[in-house]
């Protein structure tokens, strides 16, 4: 005859087994197998409401991009802990469901869950990113206070999110404090603080930070290079832009469209249309941004005929123009006194 302890052990063994399989499903993104295990758990009456299996299911559905199903398990569960809350919050942010994350945070604060003690560095990072995405900056600052209470402000993931938060708020001073307190800075952190300076018009500061990055930081990526080319355009520093272009070529990222378009824009804004044209002609597959930059740049620097010729070539390549393209065309017609061409292109569809 089985004792009470034997019955409990028999009940727990399959729970542990299923929870282990669900964790593997989460790691590998195997949604189909995860759903099968969920069905077996329900069929065998193993208690989805219990925290072990509930968390395994929540994590599996969240990692597989099914946050709605994760939330259903979450709401159905009788036992929840920090892992439960963290998994759903992170899932919402990774899926871009930031408004849902904010509503869940409100619910979390109203519940008996000790938010500050349960939230991990990954959770805080996800929350700050969510606040940034849905412009809940004041709530993000409240989260910063919780982060400092937990002494997590030195974490690289949190640091990057905080730098972005204060950058969006236009507070370079607070952004630099967060940047300086982050002990391990990845390229996202560096790019965030450089972009913050650029967006606030602190172009010299952005250039200085980029030099520091090259000396001792991680390798700049295409987004960092793109921002710096824009900074060079704002400073009318074509020479510095050429040096950054050289770095991009050496790093093998010069052909990436985001870098190439920034390079075109830098030359055009600096008034060097010939260099911009050479760079444009070396582009394998120029997109609408590439064409628009060249058309606008040519129009703004007195090359109206060139701008209109580029527009005709753009149509020949079957690239659909956007409102920026048309602005460049109309500028070319206006500056060049080309009334007939302006009327013709204004009716283009």
Which tens digits make up the pLDDT trace of 305-324? 999 999 999 999 999 999 99
Inside any domain, residue 124: no
**CB of 237 within 8 A of CB of 229?**
no
> Of 285, 314, 330, which residue constitutes the final position of a domain?
285
DSSP one-letter string for 269-282:
HTT-HHHHHHHHHT
The pLDDT tens digits for 3-53 are 333 333 345 578 888 889 999 999 999 999 999 999 988 888 776 667 888
| pLDDT confidence of residue 314 | 94
End-of-domain residue from the set 265, 285, 305: 285
> What confidence score (pLDDT) does residue 79 get?
76
Per-residue pLDDT of 162-204, as tens digits, reads: 998 998 888 899 999 999 988 888 898 899 899 989 988 999 9
Please check whether residues 290 and 251 belong to one and the same domain: no
Asked if 295 contacts 262 with a C-beta cutoff of 8 angstroms, the reply is no
* 48 in a structural domain: no
Q: Is residue 37 part of a domain?
A: no
Q: Most confidently modeled of 55-64, 99-108, 276-285, 287-296?
A: 287-296
> Could you tell me if 223 and 280 lie in one domain?
yes
CA–CA separation, 336 vs 324, rounded Å?
18
Burial 14-32 (b: 16+ CB within 10 A, else e): ebeebbebbbebbeeebbe
* pLDDT tens per residue across span 225-261: 999 999 999 998 888 999 999 999 999 998 899 999 9
pLDDT for the residue numbered 123: 81
Q: How confident is the model at residue 1 (pLDDT cuts 50, 70, 90)?
A: very low
| C-alpha torsion sign, points 326, 327, 333, 339 | positive
pLDDT tens digits, 39-88: 988 888 776 667 888 889 999 999 999 999 999 998 888 777 778 888 88
pLDDT digits (tens, 9 = 90+) for 320-347: 999 999 999 988 888 656 545 544 555 5
Domain count, the chain: 2
| Residue whose token pair is 């028999």 | 10
Q: What is d(CA 256, CA 226) in angstroms, rounded to the nearest whole number?
A: 10
In angstroms, what is the C-alpha Rg of the chain?
Answer: 27
**Mean pLDDT (the chain, rounded):** 85
Domain limit, last residue, from 263, 285, 307? 285
Residues 323, 346 within the same domain: yes
The verdict on 317 and 306 lying in the same domain is yes
Measure the CA–CA gap between 283 and 171, rounded to whole angstroms: 38
pLDDT average, residue stretch 154-158: 84
For 297, the domain range is 286-349
């Amino acid at each position: 005859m089985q004792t009470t302890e034997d019955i409990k052990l028999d009940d727990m063994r399959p729970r542990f087994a299923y929870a282990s399989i669900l964790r593997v499903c989460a790691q590998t993104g195997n949604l189909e197998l995860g759903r099968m295990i969920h069905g077996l758990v329900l069929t065998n009456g193993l208690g989805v409401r219990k925290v072990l299996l509930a968390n395994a299911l929540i994590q599996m559905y969240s990692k597989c991009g099914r946050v709605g199903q994760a939330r259903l398990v979450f709401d159905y569960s009788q036992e929840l802990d920090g892992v439960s809350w963290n998994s759903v919050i992170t899932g919402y942010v990774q899926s871009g469901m930031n408004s849902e994350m904010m509503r869940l945070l409100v619910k979390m604060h109203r519940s008996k869950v000790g938010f500050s003690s349960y939230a991990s560095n990954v959770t805080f990072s996800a929350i700050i990113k969510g606040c940034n995405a849905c412009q809940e900056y004041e709530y993000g600052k409240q989260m910063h206070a919780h982060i400092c209470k937990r002494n997590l402000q030195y974490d690289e993931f949190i640091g990057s999110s905080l730098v972005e938060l204060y950058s969006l708020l236009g507070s370079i001073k607070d952004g630099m404090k967060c940047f300086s307190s982050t002990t391990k800075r990845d390229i996202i952190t560096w790019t965030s603080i450089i972009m913050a300076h650029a967006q606030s018009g602190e172009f010299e500061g952005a250039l200085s930070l980029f030099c520091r990055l090259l000396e001792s930081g991680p390798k700049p990526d295409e987004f960092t290079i793109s921002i710096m080319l824009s900074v060079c355009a704002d400073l009318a520093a074509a020479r510095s832009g050429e040096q950054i272009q050289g770095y991009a070529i050496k790093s093998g990222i010069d052909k990436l469209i985001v870098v190439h378009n920034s390079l075109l824009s830098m030359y055009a804004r600096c008034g060097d249309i010939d260099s911009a044209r050479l760079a444009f002609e070396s582009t394998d597959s120029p997109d609408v941004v590439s064409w628009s930059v060249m058309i606008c740049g040519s129009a703004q620097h007195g090359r109206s005929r060139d701008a209109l010729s580029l527009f005709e070539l753009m149509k020949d390549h079957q690239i659909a123009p956007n409102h920026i393209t048309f602005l460049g065309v109309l500028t070319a017609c206006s500056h060049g006194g080309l009334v007939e061409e302006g009327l013709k292109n204004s009716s283009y569809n």
